[in-house]
Structure 1
Amino acid sequence: MSCIGFVPKTQPLDTKEFLKPSGKTPEITLDHIAKHLLSYFKRFRRLKEIEKEIKKKYEIQKEDCWPVDDIIKAWEETKKMDKTLRSTKYWAFAIMLQVLQRRLGFDVSDLKEVKTCPITSDVAKEITPFEPEQEPSEIYSPFEERDNMDKVNAERKMLGNASQIPEELQNKADFPPTKRKFSERLQKDGSGQWTRGSNKSNPETVYIRIPLSVVSGNESTSMPKEVLTTSPIYKLIDRVPNLTEIRVKQSYAMLYDNRTRNAAWVYEILNKETLMERYDRRKPFEEDFSIHPFYRATESDDACTASGYEKGHLAAAANHRWCQEAYHDTFLLSNMTPQTMALNRGPWKTLEEDCRRKINESQNEVRNVHVYSGPLYLPSSDDSEVVSYEMLGDKALPTHFFKVIILEKYDGTVELECYQIPNWLSEDDTNFIVPIEYIESVSGLIFRESSFNKGETDSIRTVTWTGENENGEECTAMTQVTISTPLY
């Protein structure tokens, strides 16, 4: 654990005093700082959840300071966990705090010991995160902010610089402000009262989306003459309510459908670099925390296995072994759809392998294989106009699946292959090839555009993704795509 020094503005500490072998006892010691850090870290919401998880697993009865035997058991379990997962890091951090707490002989629940440390008042203000008289009950840790920022950075890596990122991604509001605004905390004014800056978001305010820009004509903007001194429950924000939202992962993108809890489509781009096999450690499916909690598929609600279905990937795990994060992203529940065993281990797997084979076995002809995969919900018979589907837990059970496979060759030519496969296969189902027009008509997705009246310009765009291999070493995957841009 690194040493952290706190230097107050009003009374700078003389570091030489800490190094003297004898003489006057310094007013602050590293033990005092460690105790304050412990009380500070114990307020992190994510660490509280991890501690509850560990205590439940090992039936730890003591509320705060764990027995040594239980700490050792938890550490032995942590050493067996996948070190690349964030949950492993959370476990290790929680255990480290317990070890530090034990070494100091300090119980965080006994706040009196913190208050009676021989620290001057000015120094205490510097190192105490909140004064106890009126403090927030929970704070969000840098770990949680890192989780959110990782998703944003992945989106930027996928889409390029900020000018290329669609507005709906730059301005998305996935969660209530309490979970989005890590840096916007309470602060004290001159009178010692907790207040918020006028340009800060209030975590208690709920923002209602209205599509003002969509319906407005000539528009002008001015600042309000009066600044609100109270915190309103509701405020208006210029955004569109969404049934579907774009989600960008390390090396694939999806359009997530909130109603079915499945992706409407998942897009992958395969080439020799993205198919490099640098990571292949299977992991269980887990929740996608970029999805709003109302519409997020969860492990507890997933009834796939219990109903005899398998968890089928839309973005195939074997397509994303070039780095550990890309591989892990394929095991998010947002990328999973319920499939029958016959489909998942039959035609669906064959198509996935065929897409990789087009790259690996091509004689420098195919530059990229672009793949759209998604579920379909079709009438049960040709003469029926009623579309119905079963719900497995909180996920819709698709009746069919589609793949649109786009072969981009080095000579500039592009070829299409389209497939529709029923979830319940019969002996008569042998030919799954369909035209692109059919996929568009039954899915509601438009994959094509007409010719541009004013022409277009062609350019080669290069995207480089960066990740880590199994050993934590940096690795990259570069993709070049020939893109046509319309002239307006």
Structure 2
Amino acid sequence: MQQASGEYKDLTKVITNPGVQSQFKSYTGMDLSFNSDCHIPNWVSWELTDEETNGTVSRGDEFFVDPEIRGCAYDYDYRGSGYDRGHMAPAGDMKWSQNAMDDCFSFANMCPQLHVLNNGSWKTLEEKCRTWAQIDGRIYIVCGPVIDEEPLEYIGESRVWVPRRFFKVIISPYSTPARGIGFIMPNGTVVGGMQNCAVTIDEVEKITGHDFFSTLPDDVEAKLESQCNFHQWSTLK
């Protein structure tokens, strides 16, 4: 992963909930923790810069099984299931590198998502993140499924866990003022749009058991993770 110059380091680091299975891997454009019991990631983290949003690499479409990932799902697990192969780190954030684009099609980066979410509010939030990165120069994102409850169902021969909810947390530590926000979205129709899903990062940590952005100074972390000012983000143009 690329690192920001300046005051803060290792902002893509996540302390994974110790109660879940976890295999860590660092790809070209993202880090992730994979859950071999559920066959989906616990979380995926990445940095997104203004420059990266203007990349010119074409979107790939070569989904692949990563042989280094224990319990990695297969394409046939998703085929005919009624669920999209939902990217956690989106291809639209990986246009800056062919390797990053290729890597984001690993099934280690996928979760079963209903199309109404994958092509709806989840996609809208991905697009907003690119806008925010362009405005602020650099943001940090972590997202994944909520694995604290029974799945909607299991799909495929691998019995891939279908999450009921997904989370995304975002910080812009170099903006003035620095900002942080979280989102929890249902795996389905998002009534009222993404603004109705806005929560604090503290709340996402409570729900998931993960610890995000722990390398920030304690006072900065506490300030950013207690915020839920959607208006502050939504008015950015």
* Aligned partners of 1:367 and 1:408 also within 8 Å: no
In structure 2, the CA distance between the partners of 1:280 and 1:426, relative to structure 1 (3 Å rule), is closer
| Runs of 4 or more consecutive aligned structure 1 residues displaced over 3 Å after TM superposition | 426-430, 448-453
How much does 1:249 deviate?
A: 0.5
Offset of residue 441 of structure 1: 1.4
How far residue 418 of structure 1 moved from its aligned partner, in angstroms, is: 0.6
278, 288, 301: which one pairs with 2:56?
278
Say whether the 8 Å CA contact 2:117–2:190 is kept in structure 1: no
Aligned residue number for residue 408 of structure 1: 173
Work out the CA distance in 1 between the residues paired with 2:121 and 2:50. 23
User: Which one of 111, 131, 136 corresponds to residue 337 of structure 1?
Assistant: 111
Q: In structure 1, what is the equivalent of residue 210 of structure 2?
A: 445
Residue 314 of structure 1: how far off its partner (Å): 0.3
Give the SS at the match of 2:169: strand
Question: Matches of 1:428 and 1:452 in 2, distance apart?
Answer: 34
State whether structure 2 residue 121 is matched by structure 1 residue 347: yes
Please name the residue that 2:155 is paired with.
392
* Preserved CA contact (<8 Å) 2:145 2:167: yes
Alpha-carbon distance in 1 for matches of 2:129, 2:72: 29
Aligned to 1:297: 73
CA RMSD of aligned residues (A): 2.6
- What is aligned with 1:328? 102
User: Given the alignment, which residue of 140, 155, 158 partners 1:370?
Assistant: 140
1:316 matches 2:90: yes
Residue 43 of structure 2 is aligned to residue 265 of structure 1: yes
SS at match of 2:80: helix
CA distance, structure 2, for counterparts of residue 327 and residue 426 of structure 1? 28
1:245 deviation in Å? 1.7
Separation (CA, whole Å) in 2 of partners of 1:283 and 1:388 = 27
Residue number in structure 2 paired with 1:190: none
Distance, in Å, in 1 between the alignment partners of 2:112 and 2:49 is: 28
Deviations 1:436-482 (A, max 9, x none): 222111111122659669xxxxxxxxxxxxxxxxxxxxxxxxxxxxx
% identity of equivalent residues: 28
- Tell me: CA distance 1:271–1:427, structure 2 relative to 1, closer, same or farther (3 Å): closer
* Corresponding residue pairs, total: 201
Q: Does 1:418 align with 2:176?
A: no
- Alpha-carbon distance between aligned partners in 1 of 2:75 and 2:202, rounded to the nearest angstrom: 36
Question: How big is the shift at 1:339?
Answer: 0.4
Q: Sort the Cα spacing of 1:436 and 1:281 in 2 relative to 1 into closer, same or farther, 3 A.
A: closer
For structure 2, list consecutive stretches of 5 or more residues without a partner in the other structure.
4-8, 11-19, 220-237
Larger radius of gyration: 1
What residue is the counterpart of 1:356 in the other structure? 130
Distance (whole Å) between structure 2 residues aligned to residue 408 and residue 269 of structure 1: 12
TM-score (norm 2): 0.76
Whichever structure has more strand as a proportion of its residues is: 2
Deviation by residue 1:152-175 (Cα, 9 ceiling, x = unmatched): xxxxx658xxxx99xxxxxxxxxx
Q: Note the 1:14-413 alignment, pairs <5 A.
A: 243-292=21-70, 295-300=71-76, 302=77, 304-360=78-134, 362=135, 366-379=136-149, 387-393=150-156, 394=158, 395-409=160-174, 413=177
Which residue type is aligned with residue 274 of structure 1? E
Kindly indicate whether the alpha-carbon contact (under 8 Å) linking 1:378 and 1:399 is maintained by their aligned counterparts in 2.
no
- Specify the alignment match of 1:434 in structure 2: 199
Distance 1:274 1:428, change over 3 A: closer
Which TM-score applies when normalising by structure 1? 0.38
Amino acid at match of 2:109: N
Offset at 1:279?
0.9
Find the aligned partners of 1:429 and 1:322 in 2 and give their Cα distance.
Answer: 29
